[in-house]
Amino acid sequence: MSTRPSLAQLGLDTGKKARLHRILHQHGLRNGTALFLPYDQGFEHGPRDFFANSAASDPKYVIRLALEGGFNGVVLQVGLAEKFYWDFAGELPLVLKLNGKTDIPGDGEALSPVHASVADAVRLGADAVGYTLYVGTPAQEQDFAQYRQVRADAERLGMPLIVWAYPRGSAIKDKGGKDSFYAVDYAARVASELGADVVKVNFPHPEKQSGAPGEYSTTFSTQEAIDAVVRSANRTMVLVSGGAKAGDEAMIDKARQSMEAGATGLIFGRNVWQRDHDDSLRFVERLREVLAKYDSRP
């Protein structure tokens, strides 16, 4: 079992440390682990994601769920943050997602355009910002250009930067796909090299090797793979994404392996709110039981 580094050991300046302390030690289990509720799927995938549980179409329902479930924060795009966060301001940390895109056009040259600023996040009392970086996309140049501004603003304003490190683009498809061990491992490293404070990754699939560089062609257990990903991220804290809804046991196992590897926490959306209210809370309770075993207080 790897140990999570304490906030004092991450090379953070005062503002970032203050905000991450609030997220990790004054919300959720208050033990240095994190459970985030992302809620931008209405934008990224469209309202079809709410058909499984139409209540989840209402941002107020979802934010309240995050509060009831004892999450460490909720992730919103600027429009929902402006209209809904006031009601809960300060009760639950807000992560303002600064870019996003619809899934209507294809993903070959994926780019997630910025439509809100770090200053918007400050103005709304957010405790972190989120940025989707499409590692491997042919649109890398524009991606890095807008990322650079976000990173510099986050630096200047002491705002923690969470990078959604998503392998994407045609080349990724040819090298094992977006959730291959190769792709996830590379994405985690890129986020840390580019200055992310926290990186959100998908759980790596070591069996997806077709087209990936030779180093990834031997047999790895999933535990070995996620261990490597956390190691690649070094002082960038790792959040493991739930992705599309799947079986609960598989999810819990993924969570356990991630925490065992030294990840700081989980970011689960559809697996949480694509079911009815009480069932959501029961599932969240199981995730919290996992996190509770990895107390990371200094």
Provide the annotated active-site residues. 166, 200
Q: Mask: binding to a second copy, 87-106, rule CB under 8 A, as x and -?
A: x-xxx--x-----xxx-xxx
Window 180-199: residues binding a second copy (CB under 8 A):
182, 185-186, 188-196
- Applying CB under 8 A, among 1, 6, 68, 86 the residue interacting with a second copy is 86
Task: Pick between residue 178 and residue 288 the one whose CB is nearest to a second copy.
Answer: 178
Q: Mask: binding to a second copy, 145-184, rule CB under 8 A, as x and -?
A: x-xx--xx--xxxx--------x-x-xx--x------x--
Considering only 10-18, 255-263, 266-274, 290-298, which stretch makes contact with a second copy by CB under 8 A?
10-18
- Applying CB under 8 A, among 2, 31, 67, 120 the residue interacting with a second copy is 120
Amino acid at 264: T
CA distance 30 to 26: 5
Task: Pick between residue 152 and residue 292 the one whose CB is nearest to a second copy.
Answer: 152
Q: Mask: binding to a second copy, 237-276, rule CB under 8 A, as x and -?
A: ----------------------------------------
- Applying CB under 8 A, among 119, 244, 246, 292 the residue interacting with a second copy is 119
CA neighbor of 103 nearest in space, from 80, 134, 140, 145: 134
